[in-house]
Amino acid sequence: MTNNARLSALLAAAMAGVAAFWGGWTRRWMSDDGLIVLRTVRNILAGNGPVFNAGERVEANTSTLWQYLIAACAWLTGARLEDVAMWLALVCTVAAACVSTFASGRYWFTKGGAHYVVPFGILIYLALPPARDFATSGLEWGLSLLWIAVWWALLVAWAAPDRPTRHGMPPVGYLLAFWCGLSWLVRPELALYGGVTGIMLIAYAPRKTGGILAAALPVPAAYELFRMGYYGLLTPHTAVAKSASGAEWGSGFEYLWDFAGYYWLWLPLLGAVALGWWLLVGTRGRRLAIALVVVGCALAHIVYVLRVGGDFMHGRMWLLPLFALLLPVMAVPVSRASVALTAAVAVWGGVTIVRAHPIDWEAYQTGEKELGIVDEREFWTLALGRELGDPPRHAEDFLGSKLMQNWEDALQDGIDAEAAQLNLAYVSADPEIYKWFYRDRVDAETDLNNLGLTAYLINLGMTSMNAPLDVRVLDTVGLATPIAARMPRIPGGRIGHDKQLDPAWQAADSGTDLDRLPAFINPLRAKQARAALRTPEIAELLATSREPMSWQRFWANVRYSVGKGRTLTLHDDPGAYLDPATRKAIRRGEDPGESGTQIAWPVTVKTANDPSE
């Protein structure tokens, strides 16, 4: 690579970095889902472990490395968690843009090849509003992009023709193998990229198989064993809640059109494919192999997103495979064709940026349109009563939600009364008013009173980050709630939110006095649910996350993770778990679920080092 070539690639990378920073900074924000990550970080820093609620070992975040990266930086800096997450995501996104663009420039600089490159594919990516929105948001998208970018850079280095090799393995190959091993810990679907790359490395250097595996496997294998023993699962809990193994092709194609159709994304992609194909003509060996691996993994990733039905956030799940698909053409050699296409992409990008992605807020407010796929940033901005361009950035900003109108007062009242549960009630339609109220604890001696004050809401982030760590915060769709996660999917439900924990189950899994429930909850059904919690199948599920950790519990969880942990689905009717005698006792007014197999243990919640205190 000549000095001119290196300077050209560096200049292209710098341009990409500036564009990524400006795009992400001007649209910086915090999502409700991002706050979910920060609740786990609070527990890590306080000493309660990598859990969402102290005393319940649930891995509520998809990215393992993201939560630990935020925790480490927050511990070092002492800064607000929301600010740490925002800056980390933005820095990762900028670094990903720079690294991927420079690596693409390097890819095209072969002996006798071009000496100058121009940014191309990165312009397509950054023009899209979701790409700039998820440059922050509190979620792991920036880290995921950085992993993909470094993966590409290492592939390019591995394929460089001037690399010294022995038995077909350049030294950078072992670093690449190690990086591939981390894929599973960044996001589970990135294991596709890491796994295919590992197979390629072994195919090119079969005599180095042992070294490749020794570099790639120890870190992810060690964490996977920890996950199995600590959480009782093979995957993050989010995969169970969202039933990621299910097939929802129709929703997937609807999700694709919602993204690609509105922006006419197929136009610049056709240009990118044509340009990439033309540039690759005559390419051989490892350089061709890595291009095929990159494109093949991206296409397989696209098929995966289609199969699972996409997502409820506009464009989010398409960002990673799109970024990967564009890697070979992030920067391209200067020629008449490339300059013309770059100019066309710049025009398309300008139109896309100005046109943005509108949200029909009035349709949601009037009920004319149900929540499906939404522009999450703009949705939350409007839902919190804020002006467009002023999105939420901190946890307290979410107190403006109509669902949080009296949250702080009700929370304090519930704590003072040593209540069992906080619940949200719909009070008025005009004006639309919701209010939180607390429910009293049962007077009987029961292990259920080991469960702290419990609040349920589908929006898990804004409640949990506006509550102390000794308040148990759960959701109704299963991200942090094992019982909800195992409920059957609602046919035709909103992707990612197509499970629902009935209020009877919610009341049952708390210390609530079931004889003093509000009218909208059937006390007989609630008592059936509480009794069902003690039955062997559900009690075993609860023990995996609640029984105090020991070597016996750890290995029992390992066995559970490869058995029922993979397949268990609960019946939404609690009566299906009960024998006739138990059902008869409930009809007599008894609450047999107050005793039996232990399902709740005493918990000591540490709060001294909670950065939100």
pLDDT tens for each residue of 372-386: 788 999 999 988 989
Residue 501 has pLDDT above 60, yes or no: yes
- What local confidence, expressed as pLDDT, does residue 4 receive? 76
Pairing of β 472-474 and β 331-333? unpaired
Band of residue 158 on the pLDDT scale cut at 50, 70, 90: very high
- What local confidence, expressed as pLDDT, does residue 317 receive? 95
Query: Using H for helix, E for strand and C for coil, what is the string for 143-204?
Result: HHHHHHHHHHHHHHHHHCCCCCCECCECCHHHHHHHHHHHHHHHCHHHHHHHHHHHHHHHHH
- What local confidence, expressed as pLDDT, does residue 169 receive? 63
Band of residue 243 on the pLDDT scale cut at 50, 70, 90: confident
- What local confidence, expressed as pLDDT, does residue 160 receive? 83
Residue 284 has pLDDT above 60, yes or no: yes
- What local confidence, expressed as pLDDT, does residue 357 receive? 81
CA distance 380 to 489: 25
- What local confidence, expressed as pLDDT, does residue 168 receive? 55
Q: At what angle do helices 536-546 and 523-533 cross, to 10 degrees?
A: 70
Over residues 285-344, the pLDDT tens digits come to: 899 999 999 999 999 999 999 998 888 899 999 999 999 999 999 999 999 999 999 999
* pTM score of the predicted model: 0.94
Residue 561 has pLDDT above 60, yes or no: yes
CA distance 538 to 292: 47
Q: What is the number of H-type helices and E-type strands within the chain?
A: 29, 6
Residue 1 has pLDDT above 90, yes or no: no
Please give the backbone phi and psi of residue 432, each rounded to the nearest 5 degrees, phi first: -75, 115
Residue 104 has pLDDT above 90, yes or no: yes
Mean of all residue pLDDT scores within the chain: 92
Band of residue 163 on the pLDDT scale cut at 50, 70, 90: low
* Range 45-60 average pLDDT: 96
Tokens of 112: 């006798």
Residue 114 has pLDDT above 60, yes or no: no
Judged by DSSP in three states, 59 sits in: coil
Phi-psi region of 49 (alpha: psi -120 to 50; beta: other; left: phi over 0): left
CB 323 within 8 A of CB 100: yes
CA distance 155 to 104: 10
- What local confidence, expressed as pLDDT, does residue 507 receive? 95
- What local confidence, expressed as pLDDT, does residue 111 receive? 44
Q: At what angle do helices 141-159 and 81-108 cross, to 10 degrees?
A: 20
* Range 171-192 average pLDDT: 95
* Range 157-179 average pLDDT: 77
List the 472-474 sheet strands across, edge first.
432-439, 421-429, 454-456, 472-474
Band of residue 109 on the pLDDT scale cut at 50, 70, 90: confident
CA distance 438 to 404: 14
Residue 272 has pLDDT above 90, yes or no: yes
Residue 612 has pLDDT above 90, yes or no: no
- What local confidence, expressed as pLDDT, does residue 282 receive? 83
Residue 113 has pLDDT above 60, yes or no: no
In sequence order, the 6+-apart residues with CB closer than 8 A to the CB of 416 are none
In sequence order, the 6+-apart residues with CB closer than 8 A to the CB of 410 are 422, 435, 436, 437, 438
CB 402 within 8 A of CB 488: no
> Hey, what amino acid is at 232?
G
Q: Is the peptide bond before 164 cis (omega within 30 degrees of 0)?
A: no
Supply the DSSP string of 531-580, one letter for each residue. Answer: HHHTSHHHHHHHHHHHSPP-HHHHHHHHHHHTTHHHH----S-GGGG--H
Distances (CA, A) of 219 to 36, 193, 199: 25, 17, 18
Residue 428 has pLDDT above 90, yes or no: no
